[in-house]
Structure 1
Amino acid sequence: MCIVSTCLFSFFFFKWRKLYLRPISAHRMIRLPLACLLLTLAATGYGGGDGCVPRDFGQGSVVCECNSTYCDLPGVIKLPPAGQFWSFTTNKAGKRFEKLLEQVQNATTGAALRLSIDSSQKYQKIKGFGGAMTDAAAMNILSLSPGAQDSLLKQYFSPEGAEYSVVRVPMASCDFSSRLYTYADTPGDFQLLNFSLAPEDLKMKIPLLQRAQAMSPRPLSLLASAWSSPAWLKTNGALIGKGTLKGEAGGKEHETWANYYVRFLDEYKKHNLTFWAVTTGNEPTAGLITNYSFQALGFTAEMQRDWVARDLGPAIARSQHAKINILILDDQRALLPHWAKVVLSDIQASRYIHGIGVHWYWDPAIPAEISLSTTHHLFPGYYLFGTEACAGFSPGHHGVKLGCWDRAERYAHDIIEDLNHYVTGWTDWNLVLDLEGGPNWVKNFVDSPIIVNKTSDVFYKQPTFYILVHFSKFLWAESQRVGVSFNTHSDLESCAFIRLDGSTVLVVLNRSSKDVPFEVWDPSVGYIPAVSPARSVLTLVWVTR
């Protein structure tokens, strides 16, 4: 009776607040029992029955709280009727993927700013978006109750959720593990007779990947990256620090490391998990740094070229995984185009390679036009793909900031910039972290789109989660980037794509503090009136004639 009376009071109080005063703050709203709060939100229009349950942690915007019985979902998006368009808005002020169905106009709206779509200008096609199933992500998901686990996985992989299509999987341990290990830690085991997957794979990552695949409407594209070879194959005899493979390309150490990749793929296939691609190793330049603090294996571009040409490429080509893609670099885009020139100019190495993986951490160091576009034009037969990104890595800004909008904006800016410079997809780092930003054995804590509070059996969806939804839910595989231009200078950032179903998707980022009215001119449909709210991401979807 106490809860019922509290809910009734809350209903009338919220109704009064909505009519006469500003909305009550999110951090006060959450003090009500969650079930009561949901009834109140539904009754008063704060998010509706499927809306976000907001919590304000004082970081500039809100997170959406979820548990085993309730979590807002983006929902299944159907194509709009002819002559109409969908708009989806997420902003700093608290909107989370707000959906509206609006009318296309036959005549100009008179807006000073016009974005024109040119479908005759065709660029790269999309491969996918996603995140990484690290040991830490798996531990955090499994720390929740079964119902909350399903709720969380549904957010990423179901047709009602973000519809992630790519999952990066570390081969053995990385910094986001609770211990250091590989799959072949027996010294001198060049035949890999003692190769075996770890409990982290068998009890955590594999079962979760199987559950994710069961939820997904299409096969997941799994991407494998290794951080370090077994210590006994390395010059420094350790998983961490400065060290490269012993010997030289074509030698027993290099050959064993290539066969290790094949064995990993073999073992996962036994669990009905096949991989779309492997990278030549996570951040190879890290293993060239003295006293590097966590797992790494050093390669120069020349060393990577020779290992692919003489060992990795042939090993995969003669295995049951011959169709798997090989991505080089898997490191900062600032290393381009040099790295690509060294590796892809070699006829023996280049025949085994399909793409180039890039990380985002040094992106401000070199313009995308110089690194990404130049590389694409030099080697148009090899695609560029974003393999890792996260917030909360900068010195003095480590770890989780619940509700931080600035980090969400940086995600959106980087994705749009990458897409406009020939990148074919973007992979976030850890799918899930805890409140500290781990677990991480070396305490290299960062942020994640979903944060687990295991003591309360709840998880929080960060603004970055919704930013990723604005891309991953709409830019399906084979969507093709097309031209979009502005009739005058604008602070807005945008990218446009045409999907195989004939619809057009336009994503617009507004990092300014003002609402920006504009119209979209698409010759095939007409004029689309829109407003880009201050500090927001807006996705528009319409069907071409």
Structure 2
Amino acid sequence: MKMEIMGELRRVPVTLFIFLGLLFWKSYGELKLCYPRNYNFGSFVCVCNSTYCDTVPNIEKLDIGRYVVIVTDKRNFRLSNCTGSFKKSKIEDASPMSINYNKTFQKIIGFGGAFTDATGINVVSLPKKAQEKLLQSYFSPLGIEYNIGRVPIASCDFSTRIYSYDDAVNDTKLMQFDLAEEDLNYKIPLIKKAQKMSKRKVLLFGSPWSAPAWMKTNNNMTGMGMLKGKPGGAYYNAWALYFVKFLEEYKHFNITFWGLTAQNEPVDGLIYKFPFQAMGWTPQLQRDFIIKDLGPLLHSYGYGNLKLMIFDDQRTFLVNWVKTVLNNTLARTFVSGIGVHWYEDIDLTLSFLDKTHELFPNHFILGTEACAASYPWEQPKVALGSWKRAESYSKDIIQDLNHWVTGWTDWNMALDLEGGPNWAKNFVDSAIIVNKTAGEFYKQPMYYIMAHFSKYILPDSVRIEITNIPKSLDVVGFLRPDKATVVVIVNRQDQSVKYTIRDPHLGQIVGNADQHSIQTLIWWNK
């Protein structure tokens, strides 16, 4: 395979170097390294095909007093990893970042992406061995080990056509309900392969974009429209049954779901001429639908333990929506969590996450959708090697995690060079881009950003307090179930930043976060 090599990129492992003149580092493990290619978008992609694909380091338990650092940066490295030792001697830094194991926060559910039709179409467009390598890159121990998979219920914009599971008008008993060819050819086969290669339990949650057109006030799966009638009525009950039928059909293929969201972006269907599949809800309607229709029906069919999530939209509207639904005692018993999307995330709305947790601490908050280049002015839609987009991921993930969010779900796991397919031409970017003509796929910087979280922050890890974080760095820390401490540090600045981390049991790590880099540090103190 012929590869283009960037002038400053290295394909050899970093075997020895001095870190701040203080630490002695060495290579950690044998890996298949990135084959880089530069498309002049700030950084580089790693190229994979049927015969070669880079792998992700699996970190074994270290001796007490040792730590490992995994580094990805704009210029050189993709998950390069080295070890160092804690320092017991007094250090000059008067205000080190300090780990406080006594103050803990939320437990992590996990990280993942969506099994959209577009994802499936792109994966199966590759040669068989390349398909396997792409799925391994996400779900196997050779990859970043996603443990969350979002599954659109019927079609969304990242389909090649508009379809539902029952287009028989007024079939309120859903006698004609049937899965689509997209489920049989793309979603189900990929889910089963992902589950088979994963050593972690892959938690699936379904999300609907629209009911069949005949159930809606506008008789269309797109545009501004809601369900006909009122909660408790024939159409609302039919829509609840639609969820159950979906779960039952997938169960026939030995696929069970961990959760559901009640509606993808419920505000979209209240927008005039909304351009793709949507269905409008107010928080009052969503509450009443859950109380009268969806909640009871899920329980009656044996899905009472399913994690039902409300909202699944931008956090601008979060607090009022959640209060309206969860202030109702019965709704609160049916609902387990709250889904949030990233598209209107600004620093000013971070407090909305805190407020939501404060009001309803027993209901988890999960990031359920995110992607780069969703706005019309973000061009090109696919920017191969964009570091700017990677940093937008890292910033949002760390901010979310530091404000009670329990995980983060990327949108499409694989798109083509145009950012699709998408029947509505709502093209966006993706962590992996497929070039079916060349029979290869490209791992974007966004993929490696996701790796620093999904690979090393294990499910059921608990966030711990870190004090004295420098304003120039984004930092978050966790204690894993295996008693490892994990700290992720991101430097989005144009200059390097020195730092010190103090563990009360072990001493200090003295380090350097290079400009435009992300580091994951891991150590054990037991």
Question: Following TM superposition, by how much is the alpha carbon of 1:113 offset from its aligned partner in structure 2, in angstroms?
Answer: 5.7
Higher helix share: 1
Question: Following TM superposition, by how much is the alpha carbon of 1:42 offset from its aligned partner in structure 2, in angstroms?
Answer: 5.1
* Alignment correspondent of 1:505: 486
Unmatched segments (≥5 aa) in structure 1: 15-22, 27-39
1:113–1:518 Cα contact (<8 Å) kept: no
Per the alignment, do residues 366 and 280 of structure 1 end up closer, same or farther by CA in structure 2, a change over 3 Å counting?
Answer: farther
Q: How does 1:293-442 map to 2 (within 5 A)?
A: 293-364=275-346, 366-369=348-351, 371-398=352-379, 399-442=381-424
* Alignment correspondent of 1:263: 245
Q: Per-residue CA shift, 1:210-250, capped at 9, x if unaligned?
A: 00000000221001000000000000000000000000000
Q: How does 1:23-422 map to 2 (within 5 A)?
A: 24=7, 41=11, 50-111=32-93, 114-364=96-346, 366-369=348-351, 371-398=352-379, 399-422=381-404
| Matched residue type, 1:24 | G
Per the alignment, do residues 445 and 520 of structure 1 end up closer, same or farther by CA in structure 2, a change over 3 Å counting?
Answer: same
Per the alignment, do residues 116 and 312 of structure 1 end up closer, same or farther by CA in structure 2, a change over 3 Å counting?
Answer: same
- Among all aligned residue pairs of Structure 1 and Structure 2, give the percentage whose two residues are the same amino acid: 46
SS in 2 for 1:208: helix
SS in 1 for 2:346: helix
Q: Per-residue CA shift, 1:366-410, capped at 9, x if unaligned?
A: 4202x1000100111111000000001122114110000011001
2:31–2:56 Cα contact (<8 Å) kept: no
| Matched residue type, 2:175 | L
| Matched residue type, 1:509 | V
SS in 2 for 1:336: helix
Name the CA distance, whole Å, in 1 between partners of 2:347 and 2:141.
Answer: 37
Name the CA distance, whole Å, in 2 between partners of 1:503 and 1:542.
Answer: 6
Name the CA distance, whole Å, in 2 between partners of 1:68 and 1:486.
Answer: 47
* Alignment correspondent of 2:504: 523
Name the CA distance, whole Å, in 2 between partners of 1:352 and 1:236.
Answer: 29
2:57–2:79 Cα contact (<8 Å) kept: no
SS in 2 for 1:375: helix
| Matched residue type, 2:500 | E
| Matched residue type, 1:522 | D
| Matched residue type, 1:164 | Y
Name the CA distance, whole Å, in 2 between partners of 1:129 and 1:225.
Answer: 16
| 1:532 matches 2:507 | no
| Matched residue type, 2:269 | G
* RMSD over aligned Cα atoms: 2.0
Name the CA distance, whole Å, in 1 between partners of 2:41 and 2:7.
Answer: 17
| Matched residue type, 1:503 | A
Unmatched segments (≥5 aa) in structure 2: 16-26
Question: Following TM superposition, by how much is the alpha carbon of 1:94 offset from its aligned partner in structure 2, in angstroms?
Answer: 2.6
2:311–2:340 Cα contact (<8 Å) kept: yes
* Alignment correspondent of 1:31: none
| Matched residue type, 2:376 | P
Question: Following TM superposition, by how much is the alpha carbon of 1:274 offset from its aligned partner in structure 2, in angstroms?
Answer: 0.5
| Matched residue type, 1:94 | N
Per the alignment, do residues 291 and 316 of structure 1 end up closer, same or farther by CA in structure 2, a change over 3 Å counting?
Answer: same
Question: Following TM superposition, by how much is the alpha carbon of 1:521 offset from its aligned partner in structure 2, in angstroms?
Answer: 0.2
Q: How does 1:457-468 map to 2 (within 5 A)?
A: 457-468=439-450
Per the alignment, do residues 44 and 289 of structure 1 end up closer, same or farther by CA in structure 2, a change over 3 Å counting?
Answer: closer
Name the CA distance, whole Å, in 1 between partners of 2:210 and 2:232.
Answer: 19
SS in 2 for 1:225: strand
Name the CA distance, whole Å, in 2 between partners of 1:509 and 1:42.
Answer: 24
Q: Per-residue CA shift, 1:311-367, capped at 9, x if unaligned?
A: 000010111322111000000111121111100001121110000000000112742
Per the alignment, do residues 161 and 44 of structure 1 end up closer, same or farther by CA in structure 2, a change over 3 Å counting?
Answer: closer
Q: Per-residue CA shift, 1:16-68, capped at 9, x if unaligned?
A: xxxxxxx7266xxxxxxxxxxxxx945999x9862111111010000100111
* Alignment correspondent of 2:20: none
Name the CA distance, whole Å, in 2 between partners of 1:177 and 1:112.
Answer: 55
Name the CA distance, whole Å, in 2 between partners of 1:128 and 1:122.
Answer: 17
